[in-house]
Amino acid sequence: MGCSLTYFKNKTMKKIKNTIILVLLSVFVFSGCEKELDTEGISRTTYYPVITVKGEQWNSVLIGEVFTDPGAEASEDGQRIELSVNGTVNTNIPGVYTITYSATNKDGFSVIKRRYVGVIDPAVADADMSGKYKRNAGANGVSTVNKLGVGHYVTDNVGGTSAAGSSTTVHFYHYEGNKLGVPAQDVNGSEFAATKATVDLGQSYSWEVLNSGYGAGIRTFVKF
């Protein structure tokens, strides 16, 4: 009878001891996870920065005119946060200028927005290259070009693919002589730009598309 009682007590004590060890381990693991989250410095809910650009995103001025940046504002969860601004406009030199606004939230997530300013030579201010063009190679895709303002245009088929649409629509400027400017811009989540861009008014225009989905080489579009 004494042996049975001793065995029962030992067994019970062993169970209690094991339970205490498990509880202590659980507390240790839980505390460790919480500490890890704290040291990461990342909140459980993040609010991405929101940048509101004041005024027009696409602007045109003639050489010598004054351009004043209307500015922008940045916020996180409805609260104003710091906004960085990069880029200047020299209205004495024709070309396409980009002003970039950027903001970062407390968890390190950043966003950018851009404003574009075309400084236009008065000699081409009244020119109009609107119309339909067909690429002379590849899929022979059709590009429809529309004039939106002084020297400011948009095409619905930057690369002359078989199907034009919102994912191939870019803005550009005819700012001087036969020169076109196609600045880097977001198009449905993909960045597009073009280089070596020129126009032969009433006849054709050409450029090299800068986008990961397009190969290198000049693309020429002929008016019809």
Calpha distance 203→48 (Å, rounded): 46
Does 102 have pLDDT greater than 50? yes
10 and 32 both lie in a single domain? yes
Q: Per the structure block, which two tokens stand in for 66?
A: 């004054």
210 and 140 both lie in a single domain? yes
Domain count, the chain: 3
Q: Please, what is the average pLDDT of the chain?
A: 87
Residue 86, phi then psi, degrees to nearest 5 = -130, 140
- Global pTM value: 0.80
Q: Do residues 74 and 100 make contact, with C-beta atoms less than 8 angstroms apart? A: no
CA 175 from centroid of its chain's CA atoms: 24
Calpha distance 181→194 (Å, rounded): 8
Q: Per the structure block, which two tokens stand in for 179?
A: 């020169």
How confident is the model over 21-59, as pLDDT tens digits?
444 444 333 333 333 334 455 557 999 999 999 999 999
134 and 61 both lie in a single domain? no
96 and 108 both lie in a single domain? yes
Q: Provide CB contacts within 8 A for 66, sequence distance 6+.
A: 91
129 and 216 both lie in a single domain? yes
How confident is the model over 160-186, as pLDDT tens digits?
999 999 999 999 999 999 999 999 999
Position 20 scores a pLDDT of 44
188 and 142 both lie in a single domain? yes
From the list 203, 204, 94, the residue with the least C-alpha distance to 150 is 94
Residue 62 one-letter amino acid: L
112 and 131 both lie in a single domain? no
User: The domain containing residue 3 runs over which residues?
Assistant: 1-41
H-run or E-run covering 156: none
Q: Per the structure block, which two tokens stand in for 85?
A: 């601004």
Domain closes at, from 73, 92, 120: 120
H-run or E-run covering 184: strand 179-187
Calpha distance 111→75 (Å, rounded): 11
